[in-house]
Chains A and B, each alone.
Chain A
Amino acid sequence: MIFNYSFGVILSSKNNFIFKKGILLIGIGLNLALLGYFKYANFFVEQLNLVIGTSYNLENIILPLAISFFTFQQISYLVDAYRHETREYNFLHYCLFVTFFPQLIAGPIVHHKEMLPQFANNDIYKANSKNLSIGLLIFTIGLFKKVIIADNLALFANPVFASLDNSGAITFFSAWSGALAYSFQLYFDFSGYSDMAIGIAYMFGIKLPMNFYSPYKSTSIIEFWRRWHITLSRFLRDYLYITMGGSRKGAYRRYVNLFVTMLIGGIWHGAGWTFIIWGGLHGVYLIINHSWRHTRVYILKWAPSASLIEVLLSTIVTFVAVTIAWVYFRAESLADANSLLSTMFGGNGISLPMSFIKYSELVNFNSAVSFFSFNGVYGDLIYQLESSLSWIIIAGLFVFLTPNSIQILQYIETKKLSKSNALPSYALTILVATIFAFVLSNLMKVSDFLYFNF
């Protein structure tokens, strides 16, 4: 922090351009070098060993908590100082900006422009019951998402991903159960964390940027990335995609820039081929999405409509594409991910309920006898997955039919509370307090947030 703050002060002064560019490059380089060492050194040594057949071994490197997040925040500070977009900030406020505990570990990735002016406002250092009430509400929503929904979905996602090395253990329906359960688990886990961070910060009078806006309601991948991990997308867009030229240098360069940005987004999540493929896949999705939009509007002259069928179809296609990519994001290895995806598309046959065996005589299954089996819908994983469907449906209903926490926050913020309309507020308070007590009574053991790994 001392180093970055000092560099920021130098960069925002009126020194000559070449000197400042040098300082900026050194600053970014040192930040990335630290991140590279702690997060990626082992991966690169492993790959080097594979390529040249050596057996170099680094000691176990302990990843500093939240390094990916505070590195990005500080790089954006340096770049903006270089662009003269920063003000003269107080050092203590700067330290608070980097280490502000609610969002330190897993975001939202905050920008100095939205945080430091708030820290300079003396009002936030006084207790405010309105902020406390609204903060508690948002925090409770986040806690509910994590403890009640995400942790229960994990019970169905984990056994599927854990048993990928047992050939034949996973069947068609169990593979889809695992993939869908993980899609929803990740959303509720991560957005739950963001809500809790936003809620806690709100209690202190600090407003954090939104990080999720119902991403699974997106009708395209482009829209998905405007709604999922919004602060990361914003960082990648402002400091990587636009810096590389964005869409200013023609369609071809735009696609290359998009692909590279998403690839780096993937690597940011972790050192491994699965993250690289995940990022690359989203890069390809975005290229296809942009090309399709262009073709549709300018070549086919087919204007987008808001018909229910089109919205529904687009939402389903987007959600399935995102779910397929999440398989790479979650799997331990490429082989595991490929194996699960192959099963999801029938590569391991379809196992039906045992009671269906009687229909095998009525319908001519002979030609496909090896494709269908009758070992139960979930095959060997029946005990872990038998109630997965109901949980996936519950999660889906929350995702697709309920307002998100930002919409709730905006509604509450604009509502004026007075004695005449106090009754609904008391009713809401009792409901939220009951949910809060219910969630607390569910706390059984430590359950980390998925994004703590990144």
Chain B
Amino acid sequence: MYKKLIVTFLFITTSLLFLIYIINMLIDPYVLSSSTGHISNQEIRITKPIKVLENSPQKVLIGNSRNNYSSDLIGEEHSNFYNLSLSGIGINEIAKLFYHAVYSNNSNLKLAYISLDSVCDPKDSLHESKFIDERFLIKPNNNTYSILFNKYALYTSYDTLILSIENATKGFLNEVGRQTIFNEGDYLAKGAAHALRKKEEITIGAKSNKKPAQSIIFEDYIKTCETKSLVKILDIAKKENIQLTFFINPVNVRYWEIQRQKNSLQHYLFNKIIIKKTIDASLIGAKNPIKVIDFRKLNKFTLERLSYHDAADLYYEYWYESSHFTNKFGEMITNVLQHDEYNNTAISSNLLDIDIEADFKQQLNSLKNWRLNNTDLVREIEQAKNCTQNSC
């Protein structure tokens, strides 16, 4: 009698696990068995590190959500390139991903484009992004497919199935690792103006649940800023002879204004100064020259007008919302990176070659002019800042 119960137990258990596995195999929520496919925002963190292990690219681009949605390398470079960017990650995770790309078994890495939107390490583990899934760095499971036995994979399969029914004609992850449809926060579907409003309410309104920053001078700021992740990246690159090109992503002028209203605009300047100091110190003895291409400037692309009151069916040319640029702008950026055209002063300059403070003053002047000419937009941001949970 007990033997029959044990057989029943084993049969039910293995059947259920295999059912989960087969469903997950068929839907392939992590895009493991193909080069492109539908993928949810969450699961991309599993797929990308695995794809780097499988593809051994010569060039990688590692950045945050801005690059996850908007950065391809163009032309023949395509085949040797992988976009390892993930939404929500900071410098600490970027360093881990860089380490992963450099030290994976069959690594062919020669060149890395790395985003330095924020160079200071998180103060403590609580503020560290948990988005990256460290199980899949360097040493993935002996059998990657074993993750398909998991119930989370089953939930993801369900999401993926819905995603593929709703967007049957569109691929979500392309062959070089870019998520081709912007679904950050999942609010673009209602229109760009809606996305803009939602994002800004979350960034600066009461929903952000953050107290406004206090105005701070550089000497105080530097005390709170550790750069061990950047130093780690520089050390690895020097040791393994990897060419590095850093870059700072652009944001729309509205985002500059948001930072101004939050007393955080000076952080843009401080970030650039710290990058320059850290890299200058590391360049001694380095074989490869390092560039830091600064796209965080006000120019005709970043000054594109975005408003809450724009029509719902209007989609902006260069922006999904104020902090995420479209693939069209992304292509211009990767073109500059790819062909070393950073002296194209319309959108960029090499941070290591310029007077950072003078350049920043120039940007502030542009911002001042923009504020004078766009008082309605400034007011929109002020209203978003003062909104409460109920009124937004």
Contacts and interface: CB of A to CB of B under 8 A. Distances in A.
Interface of A: 129-130, 132-133, 136, 159, 162-163, 165-166, 169, 354-355, 357, 375-376, 380, 382, 417-419, 422, 425-426, 429-430, 432-434, 436-438, 440-445
6 contacts: A129-B5, A375-B209, A429-B8, A433-B10, A438-B16, A441-B154
> From DSSP, what is the main secondary structure of chain B's interface residues?
helix
B151 A438 contact: yes
Given A165-B124, A422-B1, A440-B149, A433 B9 contact: yes
Interface residues of B, number: 29
A162 B124 CA distance: 9
Contacts of A159: 126
B2 A129 contact: yes
Interface string B10-32: 11110011001000000000000
Contacts of B388: 354, 357
Contacts of B10: 433
What 7 A-B pairs have minimum CB-CB distances, sorted nearest first? A433-B12, A129-B2, A437-B16, A441-B151, A433-B9, A129-B3, A130-B2
B152 interface: yes
Interface in B204-233: 206, 209
A328 to B, nearest CB: 21
Given A163-B126, A417-B2, A440-B149, A355 B389 contact: yes
B6 A129 contact: yes
A166 B20 CA distance: 42
A386 to B, nearest CB: 11
Nearest to A426: B8
A123 to B, nearest CB: 15
B125 interface: yes
Given A159-B126, A441-B16, 15 more contacts: A129-B3, A132-B2, A162-B125, A163-B124, A163-B126, A166-B123, A169-B126, A380-B209, A419-B1, A429-B8, A429-B9, A430-B12, A434-B16, A437-B13, A438-B151
Contacts of B135: 444-445
Contact of B126 (A132, A162, A426): A162
B12 A443 contact: no
B209 A376 contact: yes
Given A163-B126, A441-B150, A443-B150, A354 B206 contact: yes
Contacts of B154: 441
B17 A354 contact: no
A12 B20 CA distance: 58
Contacts of A162: 124-126
Nearest to A162: B126
B39 to A, nearest CB: 18
Interface in B95-140: 123-126, 135
Contacts of A426: 5, 8
A418 B5 CA distance: 12
B390 interface: yes
Contacts of A354: 206, 388-389
Interface in B230-284: none
A149 B33 CA distance: 33
User: Which of A355, A382, A436 has the most chain B CB within a 10 Å cutoff?
Assistant: A436
Contacts of B6: 129, 132-133, 136
A436 B13 contact: yes
Nearest to A354: B389
Contacts of B390: 355
A189 to B, nearest CB: 21
A111 B154 CA distance: 45
A230 to B, nearest CB: 29
B84 to A, nearest CB: 21
A259 B341 CA distance: 75
B13 A430 contact: no
B186 to A, nearest CB: 17
A436 B17 CA distance: 10
A284 B92 CA distance: 46
Interface string B184-203: 00000000000000000000
Contacts of A376: 209
Contacts of B9: 133, 136, 429, 432-433, 436
Nearest to A128: B2
A166 B123 CA distance: 10
Contact of B12 (A355, A418, A437): A437
B213 to A, nearest CB: 14
Contacts of A130: 2
B150 A444 contact: yes
Given A136-B6, A434-B12, A437-B13, A417 B126 contact: no
A54 to B, nearest CB: 30
A417 B5 CA distance: 11
Given A380-B209, A437-B17, A429 B5 contact: yes
A390 B387 CA distance: 29
Nearest to B19: A437
A317 B131 CA distance: 40
A410 B324 CA distance: 62
A425 to B, nearest CB: 6
Given A163-B126, A433-B9, A133 B151 contact: no
Contact of A418 (B1, B8, B13, B150): B1
Contact of A433 (B1, B8, B124, B152): B8
A166 B126 CA distance: 10
A444 B154 CA distance: 13
B13 A433 contact: yes
Nearest to B18: A437
B8 A430 contact: yes
A386 B67 CA distance: 30
Contacts of A380: 209
A31 to B, nearest CB: 38
A226 B124 CA distance: 40
B372 to A, nearest CB: 34
Nearest to A140: B9
Contacts of A382: 209
B110 to A, nearest CB: 32
Contacts of A375: 209
A284 to B, nearest CB: 33
B148 to A, nearest CB: 10
